[in-house]
Structure formats: C-alpha cells, structure tokens
Structure 1
Amino acid sequence: MRTFRSRSTVLAATGAAVFALSLTACGGGGSDTKSAGADTPETTVSVGASHGTDANTDAAKTAGSSGSSGSSDATKASAPGGKQAASAAPVCTTKDVAISAARHGGPPSTHIVLTAKNTSGHSCRMTGFPEIQFLESHKQNVPAVAKSKPAAPVVLKAGAPAYALVKVSDGGVDESNEPVSAFSVTLQGGGGMAAVRAPGSGGIAVDPAKALTGYWTYELRNGADEF
C-alpha cells in the first residue's frame, strides 16, 4: 500500500522548578451505537498513484495532510513524558468519533479503509485496532496484523481522523465471498460498538477466512500496512 493518503510556576529560594500540568482532561462517552455514513455517498480512499483513482483526490489529500499532522503528534507522544501524557487522554468512544468505511484503490476490491473522525470537541485516544464482525454467521473478530501497530499512542485532537486498513478478500472469483452491506466495529478499551455501512450501493464481498485488519494509525504507512 502507499501512504494514504502545560501552570503554576513555583519558585524556590535556590532555583526554579517548572511543572507542566496543562493536559486537558476530557470525558469519554458511553457505549451507544452510532451509525456512520448512512447518508454518505460511496467514497474511494486512494493512497498513491499506482493503487488509487483520480475520482477522489480530495479524500486522498485529506488523509495525507491529516496523517502528516498526526505523525508530528506521534513524535511528540514518543518524546520524554510524551507517552505518559498521551496515555492520560481518555479512550475514544463511539460518542466521540464518527466511523465510516470507504473502498481502497480500484478493482479488484480487496481492501476497505475505516476512518474514525473525532467529533467530540476534545482530544481522545484510539486504542489498539477495530474489532470487526462482518457476518452474523461468523461471530469471531477479524484478526489484527501485528506489524501495523504504531510505535506511539494515537491521540486524536478535536476534528482529527484515525485510519485502519481492512482486508476483506483476496479478490478471487473462486473465493467463499459473502455480501455485506453493514457491519459492526467495536472500539477497544470500553469504547463501545458502532454499526458501519459498507461502501457502495451493493455493499462489499467478504471472505471471512481471508479478512484482516490493521491497527488505528494517523495515516496509512508503506510496509506496515501491506497485507
């Protein structure tokens, strides 16, 4: 895949010590179900010229620019004290984010991209990977790909998105594919479950035996998200 696109100052007689205490605490939501993208037309998220189409260049640019900003946030989170500050941010819940799905690249359609946009007005943390169940007949969650796990916590500022790449099939005509028009996504850490509409008027074809998901990240990354 290609890149998708602190204050009180306390003065002592012998010196000064500054403690940065300005982390904003924000309350998480509950586990209410949020339906995402019910009235949104189909979108194709493309990363890189060799895998995408020109029809949704703006979507790709949005993913790219958000990813660049997110990468900066990730660097800050990995700095001394940064991870501690990041882990103090509340876990994003389905009341905090709007989750949608889009096709990734052109045919054969073997992958989709999940986007979780922070609509809460405060920062929150996306934990782990999306727990996805595509079909009622297959209750187990889609397995996660370990190499896609980011090095630093994914903390979303208000209005910022996180992405997760999801493989739905190998694109073969002889696969045991089943049509999926909507599916469930559960956010780890007590974030609750959301019903997500599959992209396209006819939904997507899913082979449960081949389905895989990546971790939530600020952007889709070369290498780590190739599965």
Structure 2
Amino acid sequence: MNLLRHRSLLLATAGTALALTLTACQSDDRTGSAPAATASATGNPAGGGQADTSGATGSTGPAHSTASKGSTDRTAGDGSTGSTGEQASATTRVCTAQDVTVSAATQGGAPYTHIVLTAKNTSGHSCRLAGAPHIQFLESHKQDVPAVAKSKPAAPVVLTAGAPAYAVVRLSDGGVDEDNEPVSAFSVILEGDSTVIAVTAPGSAGIAVDPAKALTGYWTPELRNGADEF
C-alpha cells in the first residue's frame, strides 16, 4: 500500500513538471513570434495583414509628406516666378558689352518709323539685362533717347546663354515735314556698363531719324502688343 502511494506521488510530480515545461515553451514561442511579425510589417507594409496596415501607413505617411514638401521647395527655388526667382534674378550679374551682341532691324513697312534692337547673350552664361538701352543717334544730339515707362517689364530680364531680348525704338512720326536726318550707325550703352556699342543701322541707305520724336522701349524677353507700341 505504501509502495502504491509512493508511485502515485511520483507520477503526479512528473505530470506537474511536464505541464510547467510545456507552458514555458508556449510562452517562449509567443514571445519570439511577436518581433518577427513587427519586422515584416515594417519592412514590407504591402504584405502585412489588416492589423498591421494602420501601423505601416502611419510610418510611411510622414515620410511621404516630407518628400512632397522637399519637392515643392525645390520647384519653387528653381522657378522663374515668386520671391525666390526674383531674388535669383537680382543676384545675377548685369550684362555688359562683352556679354551681348546688339543688332537693329526695321519694323513695319515704309516709311520706316520704328526699328527693333536685339541683344543676344553670347557669353555662355546667364546675365541680367537691366533698364532700357541708352541710345544716341547723332553727334549733334548728345542726349539719350527717352525711354517709354509703360514698356518696362514687371520682372528683371535674365538672359540665359544664347537668349535674346528686344527693345522697340521709334525714329520719327513718318511725316514729310519732319526734320529727319540720315543715320547709318549709332551708339548703344547698356545699363550698368559704360562701354559704347556701335550698331549699324538697317537698310542700305540707313534710317531717317527725327531727334525730337525718337523714343525707346525697355529691354523685354519678347515683343508685346500695347506696351511696345508708341
């Protein structure tokens, strides 16, 4: 009887130890599986379950927003409009006579009352063409041709390498009673530079200029209806 009771006690003790061992193993399995699931959701959100989707979205959301903001900032910085573009234009160095070539062509038909000056950037780098051309047609008239305020562009004119800018110049009213004088060449000075540029007048016979009626527009990237008509 004592032997049977002793054997039963041993079996009960062994059973309790086995149960404790199995419980510990199950606990270890659950603890080890949790980090594996988290790593999977973080590394590959698309393959995670619904329970992990909100966590993956939350982690990628701020990163996506940061990337979008950075892209917007770069676009604004590189654009030609807005405050950043204006600051970049203001810091671009002013074009000099060594940076551009200036030529003249008649505008419209006879009698030729207007010409168009073209300043082309031949320097290989960007420069800013400021103000209006300082023009003197005749040695007997040392005053610069007056500039028309309404033709002034809203933003600085920045010429990239090879780009042109234009200025419309009125020579006369085209009247037969005007005091016109023949001009075969004339001088142009750029704003911010004292170098005199000699420009050949268009046409084999040159141009007829009335110094009292002559006007010039500002440099612009293109010819605009209205602002460049005077």
Other-structure match for 2:202: 199
What secondary structure sits across from 1:112 in the alignment?
strand
Match of 2:156 in 1: 153
* Aligned residue identity for 1:125: R
Q: How does 1:126-145 map to 2 (within 5 A)?
A: 126-145=129-148
1:221 alignment partner in structure 2: 224
Q: Deviations over 1:9-46 (max 9, x none)?
A: xxxxxx999797xx9xxxxxxxxxxxxxxxxxxxxxxx
Q: Is the 8 A contact 2:136 2:145 kept in 1?
A: yes
Distance of 1:193 and 1:91 partners within structure 2: 16
Render the CA deviation track for 1:171-195: whole Å, top value 9, x for unaligned.
1111000000000000001262200
Report the TM-score, using the length of structure 1 for normalisation: 0.67
Map of 1:65-80 to 2, 5 A cutoff? 76-80=79-83
Q: CA separation in 1, counterparts of 2:113 and 2:89?
A: 34
TM-score of the aligned structures, taking structure 2 as reference length: 0.66
Identity percentage over the alignment?
A: 71
Q: What is the CA distance between 1:97 and its match in structure 2?
A: 0.3
Q: Which has the higher strand share?
A: 1
**SS of the counterpart of 1:103?**
strand
Report what 2:186 is aligned to: 183
SS, match of residue 83 in structure 2:
coil
CA–CA separation in structure 1 for the residues paired with 2:194 and 2:91 = 15
Q: CA deviation at 1:107?
A: 1.1
> How many matched pairs?
160
Deviation at 1:127, TM superposition (A): 0.5
Paired position in structure 2 for 1:53: none
RCO higher in 1 or 2 (8 Å CA, sep ≥ 6)? Answer: 1
Higher fraction of helix: 2
Provide the aligned C-alpha RMSD in A: 2.0
> Which of residues 142, 162, 167 is equivalent to 2:165?
162
State the distance in 1 between where 2:80 and 2:157 align: 9
